[in-house]
Amino acid sequence: MSRSGALDRIDVLLSGVSDPTFTAVLRGEPLSISGTPMCAFWITNRSTIFETLSTVSTTTAFIIRSYFRMQVSRDVRESVELDLWDACVNIETALRGDAQLDGNASDSNVGTMATGYTDIGGTAYRTLDVPFNVEILGEIPIAP
Q: List the domains of the chain with CATH numbers.
A: 3-141 (3.30.70.1700)
- Is the four-CA dihedral 93, 117, 77, 12 of positive or negative sign? negative
Helix (H) / strand (E) element for 94: namely helix 74-96
Per-residue pLDDT of the chain (144 residues; tens, 9 = 90+): 789 999 999 999 999 999 999 999 999 999 999 899 999 999 999 999 998 889 999 999 999 999 999 876 666 667 888 999 999 999 999 999 999 999 999 999 999 999 999 999 999 999 999 999 999 998 888 887
* Angle at 70 (CA atoms; ends 67, 71), nearest 5 degrees: 150
The whole model's pTM is what? 0.91
